[in-house]
Amino acid sequence: MRRFVLILIAPLLAAWGVATLGGGGPVGGAPSPTTVGDNFDRGDSDSLGANWTEDLGNLEILGYSVEPTGAAGSNTTHFARYTGQALGTSDQWCVFQAGSVGDAFDNSGCQFRQGSSAQPHYTIAVRGSEGNVYWGKTDNAGNFVGIQNCAPGAWSTGDWIGAFVEGTGASTHVGVVTGASDPGDCDHTAGCGWTLDCEWTSDPGANEISSGVYVGVRIYNQSGTSDVEPDVTQWRAGDK
């Protein structure tokens, strides 16, 4: 008797399924994630190319990397926004590889939730002199206000950082991974699928940046004992 009932129901389930999924559109209608990137592997140039807008200071392509113009150790902030492609959401991730060691790579990192013109945004930055990573808010003049920080450890030439920012208010979720290898694109599972060095679920309060669909790179020309030009050799970012 039980088998007879199942046989009767099966055609009904099939018919219901066809009606529910009718129209051929994607289930749930979720937008596809967008990924952008730049390896800077092109000729030396003051211009970063058509995809970039330099909002503060002056970055350049030199030696297949992006770095500040001018002498090392000038204590100046430089940042650029990838305007070649807007992302679809403000839940964003970024990875890059740095080509500088120790205290030459201070206060440099990824920018999140930037606007179609310059606006205050989140920065997740390495402080090579401390071995620390900071999440904070950067204004248009480059001033940085820290929200959280942690200490993944020493920073070496060629190291990578990966970071993501999701949610707003008390649901804000931020994570960071650093190390000698490319952590890979964020796969949009919890924690991007990375083994995180730092993770915060902190309400940023007055320092919140709640929207913005552009991402970018910040490089600080740090004065330190090594005084070499800090640079980023490759960069990728995307959204959820």
E-strand stretches of the chain: 35-38, 52-56, 59-62, 65-68, 76-82, 92-98, 106-114, 121-127, 132-138, 144-150, 160-166, 173-179, 198-200, 214-221, 232-239
By the rule CB under 5 A, 58 interacts with Ca ion = yes
Q: Is there binding between residue 233 and Ca ion (CB under 5 A)?
A: yes
Which residue lies nearer to Ca ion by CB, 92 or 233?
Answer: 233
Measured from the CB atom, is 84 or 146 closer to Ca ion? 84
Smallest gap from Cβ 57 to Ca ion, in A, equals 8
Separation between Cα atoms, residue 80 and residue 46, nearest integer Å: 13
Amino acid at 221: N
Q: Which stretch binds Ca ion (CB under 5 A): 43-51, 106-114, 151-159, 176-184?
A: 43-51
Residue of 33, 36, 40, 235 interacting with Ca ion (CB under 5 A): 40
**DSSP secondary structure letters along 171-218:** G-EEEEEEESS------SSGGGG---SEEE----GGG------EEEEE
- As measured in angstroms, the least distance from the Cβ of 160 to Ca ion is 13
Footprint on residues 193-232 left by Ca ion (CB under 5 A): none
> Segment near Ca ion (CB under 5 A), from 13-21, 60-68, 103-111, 154-162?
60-68
The DSSP 8-state label assigned to residue 45 in this structure reads: B
Contact set with Ca ion (CB under 5 A): 39-41, 46, 58, 64, 233-234
